[in-house]
Amino acid sequence: MSRASTPPPLTAEDEQLLTRLRDLSLVDLDALLAGTSGDGYAQLLVTHAEDLEDALRSARARLSELAKTVAGPDPMTLLDAPFHLRAKDGGREAAERIGKRLAARAAAARALARMDDLIAALVPRLLEADRRRASLPR
C-alpha cells in the first residue's frame, strides 16, 4: 500500500484546534496578568480560563470521535476466515480494504496522540487559573 492512499491524519478543523491548543500552551498566566489589578485582573483571568475550558471541551469532543475510529471494528477479522475465502479474487480487494482501515486507524491514533500531548500541558494551566479564580472576591 502506498503512502499516497493513506488518509490525512488530521482535518483542517483538527489543525485549527491543535493550533489553538498550542497557542494557549504558550500563554504564561503570570505574564498575562502582570500589571493588572482589580476588575481588569479578574476579567482577564476569567476570560483566559474560559478560553482554556472551551478549547479543552472542543478537544475532548474530537478525542471521543478519534477514539471511536481507533477502537472500531477489527480490520484483521479476515484472519479468522478459511484460507480459500481469503484467497478469493487473489486477495487484492480484501488486502486493499484492510490496508485502508489500518491506515485510517493509524492516522486517528497519531491525531489522538498529538492532541493528548497538548491537552496534558493545558489541564494544569486551567486548574491554576481556576484556583486563582476561586480566590477572587465574589
| 75-122: pLDDT as tens digits | 888 888 888 888 888 888 888 889 999 998 998 999 999 999 999 999
Q: Within 10 Å of residue 61's Cβ, how many Cβ atoms?
A: 10
pLDDT of residue 83: 86
Three-state helix/strand/coil letters over 46-107: HHHHHHHHHHHHHHHHHHHHHHHHHHCCCCCHHHHCCHHHHCHHHHHHHHHHHHHHHHHHHH
Q: Which three cell numbers stand for residue 25?
A: 500552551
Q: How confident is the model at residue 9 (pLDDT cuts 50, 70, 90)?
A: low
Judge whether residue 67 has pLDDT over 70. yes
- Model pTM score: 0.80
